[in-house]
């Protein structure tokens, strides 16, 4: 099998992919290869109208506190604009504007609010329907208290201590684990106080306060501490809560995927995994809407993706006599083959590499393809580049295409 030298054009790929997915994003200039999701409620605004909310959030969509606000905006179907703040180089106008200098912050009809909890409460006050706080006054008071508690009960600190501290002996680690488990037991108890899977009798701000953090922990702890929350019989209510969240479309728009969360912890915080940081949850990877979304994002963003690969993956080292043309073409070809595979599955042409007898240009093309594919597999980031479901499908497809190479 040799690598096909032709695949569909990007225009053809984009057209077919778009037929199978409604997901659209916009490219963010200068922040390659990232994209920005279009709020699902933007169409509700008459053309040329400024949305009532402006959200300031992190460029990479990694921040769990920003995710809380985004989750509420999507649940409440509030049209909003986003301004992305580069946290490694915050603009002066932002640090002048926001006293804490942190993200998220928001302007709600021109009025600045910061701190995720306060933004959530301000959105609730200004856009009461659909409500994310219970109507019943007594339950409403409990809800407000639990929103406060989520910030002050120390759950997050205990969790991150267990995850990130590097204890010198096993006893210390066991203690960190026991303290964290006790705090999960408390959440388990709290979840049992009202009927149904959520903290209160309906989905509410309390669920939103916890979800980005519990999601990250459920992804990170198995890989970094060998500890499972999901599937752990000690926490049936927390598991039922995850299952209920999973039914909410807004959650799927804003959440990140496990691999993104696991790679991030290593890259950003330098923590070494004890297990495989790249396991794939393949449950969703065959769903056509996710595969098509991944192909659509790749097609739409291919120019910046290719530039990023050329600059950062190491393929430049394979330039022939200082000429990068072949390398660029090989990257482009393999990404198109990937998009093709996402759309057509096993009936798509795959790059080949198993037979010997390649000439040196063919060998270079395969080598560039392998490097480029390996790079994008770990470079893709949800929800920054595509939804979590699409990113999972994307990685699974890369694995298949890579497996055909050598």
Ligand X SMILES: N[C@@H](CCC(=O)N[C@@H](CS)C(=O)NCC(=O)O)C(=O)O
Cross-strand partners of 112: 107
180 touches ligand X (CB under 6 A):
no
How many alpha carbons lie under 13 Å from residue 363 in its C-beta half-sphere? 7
Cα end-to-end span (Å), the chain: 10
Q: Which is nearer to ligand X, 209 or 292 (CB)?
A: 209
Q: Which is nearer to ligand X, 157 or 189 (CB)?
A: 157
97 touches ligand X (CB under 6 A):
no
Select from 112-120, 138-146, 335-343, 348-356 the region that touches ligand X (CB under 6 A). 112-120
**For residues 128 and 98, is the Cβ–Cβ distance under 8 A?**
no
**For residues 390 and 301, is the Cβ–Cβ distance under 8 A?**
no
Q: How far is the CB of 257 from ligand X (least distance, A)?
A: 18
104 touches ligand X (CB under 6 A):
yes
Q: How far is the CB of 57 from ligand X (least distance, A)?
A: 9
Q: How far is the CB of 272 from ligand X (least distance, A)?
A: 22
Q: Which is nearer to ligand X, 160 or 194 (CB)?
A: 160
Q: Which is nearer to ligand X, 209 or 350 (CB)?
A: 209
Q: Which is nearer to ligand X, 104 or 369 (CB)?
A: 104
**For residues 338 and 401, is the Cβ–Cβ distance under 8 A?**
yes
Q: How far is the CB of 151 from ligand X (least distance, A)?
A: 7
Q: What are phi and psi of 8, to 5 degrees?
A: -55, 160
Eight-state DSSP code of residue 106: E
383 touches ligand X (CB under 6 A):
no
376: nearest Cα among 362, 396, 360: 396
82 touches ligand X (CB under 6 A):
no
Select from 96-104, 175-183, 326-334, 345-353 the region that touches ligand X (CB under 6 A). 96-104
71 touches ligand X (CB under 6 A):
no
Tell me the C-alpha distance between 89 and 118, whole Å. Answer: 25
**For residues 327 and 319, is the Cβ–Cβ distance under 8 A?**
yes
CA angle 73, 78, 82 (to 5 degrees): 65
Q: How far is the CB of 95 from ligand X (least distance, A)?
A: 9
Tell me the C-alpha distance between 339 and 34, whole Å. Answer: 17
Select from 41-49, 109-117, 296-304, 391-399 the region that touches ligand X (CB under 6 A). 109-117
199 touches ligand X (CB under 6 A):
no
Q: Which is nearer to ligand X, 63 or 191 (CB)?
A: 63
**Which two tokens mark 106?**
């928001």
149 touches ligand X (CB under 6 A):
no
Q: Which is nearer to ligand X, 152 or 166 (CB)?
A: 152
Select from 100-108, 284-292, 297-305, 345-353 the region that touches ligand X (CB under 6 A). 100-108
120 touches ligand X (CB under 6 A):
no
Q: Which is nearer to ligand X, 95 or 145 (CB)?
A: 95
Place of tokens 């603009």: 91
Peptide bond between residue 383 and the one before it cis (omega within 30 degrees of 0) = yes
Within a 10 A sphere around the Cβ of 76, how many other Cβ atoms?
Answer: 19
345: nearest Cα among 2, 3, 20: 20
Helix-strand-coil split of the chain, %, nearest 5: 55, 5, 35
Tell me the C-alpha distance between 230 and 232, whole Å. Answer: 5
102 touches ligand X (CB under 6 A):
yes
115 touches ligand X (CB under 6 A):
yes
63 touches ligand X (CB under 6 A):
yes
Binding track, positions 41-60, relative to ligand X; x by CB under 6 A: -----------------x--
164: nearest Cα among 252, 229, 225: 225
Q: Which is nearer to ligand X, 81 or 115 (CB)?
A: 115
Instruction: Give the binding site for ligand X (CB under 6 A).
Output: 58, 63, 65, 87, 101-104, 115-117
């Amino acid at each position: 099998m040799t690598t096909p030298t032709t695949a569909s054009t990007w225009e053809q790929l984009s057209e077919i992919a778009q037929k199978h997915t409604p997901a659209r994003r916009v490219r963010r200039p200068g922040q390659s290869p990232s994209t920005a999701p279009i709020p699902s409620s933007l169409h509700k605004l008459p053309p040329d109208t400024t949305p009532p909310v402006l959200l300031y959030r992190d460029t990479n969509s990694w921040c769990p506190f920003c995710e809380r606000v985004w989750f509420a905006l999507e649940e409440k179907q509030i049209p909003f604009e986003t301004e992305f703040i580069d946290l490694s180089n915050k603009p002066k106008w932002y640090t002048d504007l926001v006293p804490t200098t942190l993200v998220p912050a928001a302007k709600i009809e021109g009025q600045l609010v910061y701190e995720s909890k306060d933004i959530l409460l301000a959105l609730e006050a200004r856009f009461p329907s659909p409500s994310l706080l219970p109507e019943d006054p007594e339950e409403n008071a409990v809800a407000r208290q639990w929103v406060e508690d989520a910030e002050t009960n120390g759950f997050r600190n205990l969790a991150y201590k267990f995850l990130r501290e590097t204890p010198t002996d096993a006893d210390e680690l066991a203690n960190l684990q026991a303290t964290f488990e006790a705090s999960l037991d408390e959440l388990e108890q709290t979840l049992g106080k009202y009927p149904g899977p959520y903290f209160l009798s309906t989905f509410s701000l309390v669920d939103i306060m916890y979800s980005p953090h519990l999601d990250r922990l459920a992804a990170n702890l198995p890989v970094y501490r060998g500890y499972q929350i999901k599937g752990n019989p000690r926490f049936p209510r927390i598991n039922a809560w995850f299952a209920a969240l999973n039914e909410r479309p807004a959650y799927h728009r804003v959440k990140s995927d496990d691999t993104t969360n696991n790679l991030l912890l290593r890259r950003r915080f330098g923590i070494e995994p004890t297990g495989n940081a790249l396991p794939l949850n393949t449950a969703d990877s065959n769903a056509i809407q996710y595969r098509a979304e991944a192909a659509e994002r790749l097609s739409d963003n291919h120019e910046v993706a290719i530039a990023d690969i050329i600059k950062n993956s190491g393929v430049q080292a394979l330039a022939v006599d200082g000429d990068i043309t072949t390398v660029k073409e090989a990257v482009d070809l393999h990404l198109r083959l990937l998009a093709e595979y996402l759309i057509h599955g096993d009936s798509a042409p795959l790059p080949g590499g198993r037979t010997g007898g390649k000439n040196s240009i063919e060998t270079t093309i395969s080598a560039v393809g392998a490097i480029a594919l390996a790079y994008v597999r770990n470079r893709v980031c949800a929800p920054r580049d595509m939804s979590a479901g699409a990113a999972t499908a994307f990685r699974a497809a890369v694995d298949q295409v890579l497996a055909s190479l050598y």
